Amino acid sequence: MRSSDAVKLLTRRVGPFSLLCSLAMVLFGFGPCSKSSTSSSRTTAPSTGSEAGGSPQTALTPAQAAAAVSAAMVEYKKGPTADCQKVIKGLVSGLPDDVTAANEASFYALADCAQREKRWSLMKQATVRLIRGDKNFPHPAMLPTAEIGMGEYTKAQTDVAALLPRYPKDPEILMVKGIIPCKQMQWAACLQGMDDAVKLAHAVSFPTVQTFEGNADVHRADAFMHLGQLDQAQKAIDAADKLGGGKAAVAGIRKDLVPAKASKVVIDEFHQSELPLGIYHLYGKTKEAGVPAQVWVYNIGTADRQFKVESEIVGVTDVFTSNVTVLKGANEVVPMVPTLKASFQPNAQRSDMPALMHVKVTALDPKGPTVVFDESDQIKLLPHDSLMLAVRVDEDATRPFDDYMGAWVTPNAKAVDAFLQAAKKRAPKETFAGTQSATLPQVEAIYEELHERGVSYVMDPEVASDTGFAQRTRLPSDVLTSNNAQCLEGAILFATMMEAIGLDPMIIRIPGHAFVGWHSAKDPVPDGTRLYVETTMVHTASFADAVKYAKVEFDKQTGMHHFEQGISRIIEIKTLRGKGITPQPWE
């Protein structure tokens, strides 16, 4: 695969309008997907803290909520020209937690616009509520579709398996079932899934069966190409073109077939378009976290072959080199983590920095080396205070990923130690003893010291949302210097202090917010009980009230099954340390 603009994995080879989006348009009648939401992140500047109001959340009055929903629906009814960001903002602020007959259309509009904007997590949240509120909801395939967008392939498979017995004649579900192995590069299963979905679509006279089949043929063509069946791939892509498969997807496959026929190798390359320097030292340390770049080498020829894979971020890293032998009819994946140059200082970068990712693959054949892939692509290096909150699985799929938060929990920073020296004067016996004594008074001492210093906090909906890959999140030392923080910075600050004094903290992420918790010891509750504190209340409320408020919020999320569904998450810092997620080395 050659063009850096064309998608290099199956569901990436479609330009600005992804195949997943185009399929969702066919399946669910959605409007067109947003172009802008895939081309850049929404890395936001850190909060100043001056936006903070009184309580951590200010609920709309019933009249205000109704007005927000009404205005959003007026915008939504404009159809394909609707401003979906405006729709989402109004519906998120005005809709209640539960779906009723009166508001079901509004929840559907929320799911629709979330899909158009590729806000897969929000789409999932809306769909979960729709399915829970209406047992006859007509588009249950929206749930696994959102999970595919989030890169949650195993979860999508589980939900498809649960849905199929209830909806055995629903081609939408069967199509989603077929997409999963395609996304996972399981090409034989991908072919079978597309065949099954098209067969059922014809059997039930699916309204848009021709376009449906055209999009399936795009998947077929890519699968045939990776399996080395190039004649069948050509026939499938020709059929997709005639049936109305996505033009960009069809063009991408056509282009890829040319070098595949000539070189008898298919190269899939994927790299992160944004690389936060604050977690670069962690790349490759955890299996789920991903790497800066990967190459898949498919040997579709008749002999075993050797290939040399090279990559670098020009001027920033040394050249990464790996030789790989690929047997005939087989494939190998090469993860690439180029080492930062000794002269490059990540902590010196204070703003986004453009860079060039260069990847080259050379076939080391007996007749001499032949370059089979050579591409350079613009990427963006994010400063060390840009916290990555999701992992890009491919151009269409992003998976929420909280592990990197552990790099921001920096208990050994000098500013943290200085703060704790002052705060411990408020602790029992002026000592922080960790789990060797009651934890509540120790956490209260930290809370009161921050209150005394006038630290202010603000709720920032971008922090725990799904609108971007990275959030500008200052490290605890910087927060202590400025005396203001948004909610995630505050939660990380408290987690840092707790770990520094020997407690086992956790960060709780819920839609639009984050707060902190820890495991109790020698408190008026059984040891190990989870306790929580709402850090945004430090400047306006007592410690006891902040603890009560956080517990109510946690119980609310539990009651809504949000932790079970992955909508809300508990990030245990001790678990992250066990995975090798260490603090930033330059804090």
| Residue 566 confidence (pLDDT) | 82
Q: What's the Cα-to-Cα distance from 331 to each of 153, 233, 273, rounded to whole Å?
A: 21, 18, 24
Residues composing the chain: 587
For residues 263-274, give the mean pLDDT.
94
Contact call for residues 395 and 12 (beta carbons, < 8 A): yes
State whether residue 276 is helix, strand or coil.
strand
Type and span of the H or E element at 296: strand 293-299
10: confidence class by pLDDT, cuts 50, 70, 90: very low
Task: Give the Cα separation of 31 and 113 in Å (integer).
Answer: 8
Contact call for residues 471 and 43 (beta carbons, < 8 A): yes
Contact call for residues 314 and 356 (beta carbons, < 8 A): yes
| Residue 18 confidence (pLDDT) | 40
37: confidence class by pLDDT, cuts 50, 70, 90: very low
- Best-predicted range by mean pLDDT among 187-196, 453-462, 466-475? 187-196
Q: Summarize pLDDT for 88-100 with one digit per residue, the tens.
A: 999 999 999 899 9
Q: Where are the domains of the chain?
A: 265-397, 402-578
User: What residue has token string 């670098």?
Assistant: 312
Q: What's the Cα-to-Cα distance from 581 to each of 339, 402, 408, 586, rounded to whole Å?
A: 18, 11, 10, 14
Rounded to a whole number of angstroms, the CA Rg of the chain reads 26
Range with lowest mean pLDDT among 129-143, 365-379, 468-482, 484-498: 468-482
Q: Summarize pLDDT for 415-458 with one digit per residue, the tens.
A: 999 999 999 999 999 999 999 999 999 999 999 999 999 988 76
Contact call for residues 227 and 219 (beta carbons, < 8 A): no
For residues 8-15, give the mean pLDDT.
31
Task: Give the Cα separation of 227 and 147 in Å (integer).
Answer: 27
The pLDDT of residue 48 is above 90: no
Range with lowest mean pLDDT among 20-24, 298-302, 512-516: 20-24
Cross-strand bridge partners of residue 400: 390
Closest CA to 402 of 575, 190, 180, 153: 575
Instruction: Tell if the pTM clears 0.85, that is, is over it.
Output: no
585: confidence class by pLDDT, cuts 50, 70, 90: confident
In the structure encoding, which two tokens stand for residue 32, read together?
A: 């067109």
Range with lowest mean pLDDT among 219-228, 334-343, 461-470: 461-470
Cα 134-33-218 angle, rounded to 5 deg: 100
| Residue 459 confidence (pLDDT) | 53
| Residue 284 confidence (pLDDT) | 81
CA–centroid distance for 262 within its chain: 37
12: confidence class by pLDDT, cuts 50, 70, 90: very low
Contacts of 575 (CB under 8 A, 6+ apart): none
Contacts of 43 (CB under 8 A, 6+ apart): 274, 352, 382, 386, 468, 469, 470, 471, 472
| Residue 58 confidence (pLDDT) | 54
CATH class belonging to 265-397: mainly beta
Task: Give the Cα separation of 515 and 550 in Å (integer).
Answer: 8
Q: What's the Cα-to-Cα distance from 427 to each of 87, 132, 199, 304, 437, rounded to whole Å?
A: 48, 47, 70, 68, 11
User: What residue has token string 């509120």?
Assistant: 133
| Residue 457 confidence (pLDDT) | 77
For residues 347-371, give the mean pLDDT.
95
288: confidence class by pLDDT, cuts 50, 70, 90: low
The pLDDT of residue 144 is above 90: yes
Task: Give the Cα separation of 395 and 12 in Å (integer).
Answer: 5
Range with lowest mean pLDDT among 25-39, 165-179, 266-280: 25-39
The pLDDT of residue 354 is above 90: yes
| Residue 90 confidence (pLDDT) | 96
The pLDDT of residue 20 is above 80: no
Task: Give the Cα separation of 243 and 212 in Å (integer).
Answer: 9
The pLDDT of residue 40 is above 70: no
Closest CA to 580 of 340, 279, 333: 279
For residues 284-309, give the mean pLDDT.
90
Contacts of 570 (CB under 8 A, 6+ apart): 506, 507, 508, 517, 563
Contacts of 3 (CB under 8 A, 6+ apart): 252, 255
In the structure encoding, which two tokens stand for residue 148, read together?
A: 């595919």
DSSP 201-234: HHHTT-TTHHHHHHHHHHHHHHHHHHTT-HHHHH
For residues 197-211, give the mean pLDDT.
92
Q: How many CA atoms lie within 13 A of 132 on its CB side?
A: 14
The pLDDT of residue 271 is above 90: yes
The pLDDT of residue 580 is above 50: yes
Amino acid letter, residue 67: A
In the structure encoding, which two tokens stand for residue 33, read together?
A: 């997907």
| Residue 257 confidence (pLDDT) | 97
567: confidence class by pLDDT, cuts 50, 70, 90: confident
| Residue 75 confidence (pLDDT) | 97
The pLDDT of residue 142 is above 70: yes
Mean pLDDT of all residues belonging to the chain? 87
Q: What's the Cα-to-Cα distance from 366 to each of 259, 304, 307, 363, 508, rounded to whole Å?
A: 20, 11, 12, 9, 57
For residues 550-556, give the mean pLDDT.
97
Range with lowest mean pLDDT among 38-42, 459-463, 525-529: 38-42
Amino acid letter, residue 37: S
Task: Give the Cα separation of 208 and 490 in Å (integer).
Answer: 50
Contact call for residues 458 and 52 (beta carbons, < 8 A): yes
User: What residue has token string 């589980």?
Assistant: 158
State whether residue 93 is helix, strand or coil.
helix
State whether residue 369 is helix, strand or coil.
strand
Q: Summarize pLDDT for 102-113 with one digit per residue, the tens.
A: 999 999 999 999
The pLDDT of residue 57 is above 50: no
The pLDDT of residue 519 is above 60: yes
Task: Give the Cα separation of 150 and 152 in Å (integer).
Answer: 5
Closest CA to 406 of 471, 475, 472: 475
289: confidence class by pLDDT, cuts 50, 70, 90: low
| Residue 493 confidence (pLDDT) | 97
The sign of the dihedral angle between the CA atoms of 426, 504, 402, 411 is positive
| Residue 24 confidence (pLDDT) | 47
Burial 174-193 (b: 16+ CB within 10 A, else e): bbbbbbbbbbebebebbbeb
17: confidence class by pLDDT, cuts 50, 70, 90: very low
Q: Summarize pLDDT for 367-417 with one digit per residue, the tens.
A: 999 999 999 999 999 999 999 887 776 666 677 788 899 999 999 999 999
The pLDDT of residue 555 is above 50: yes
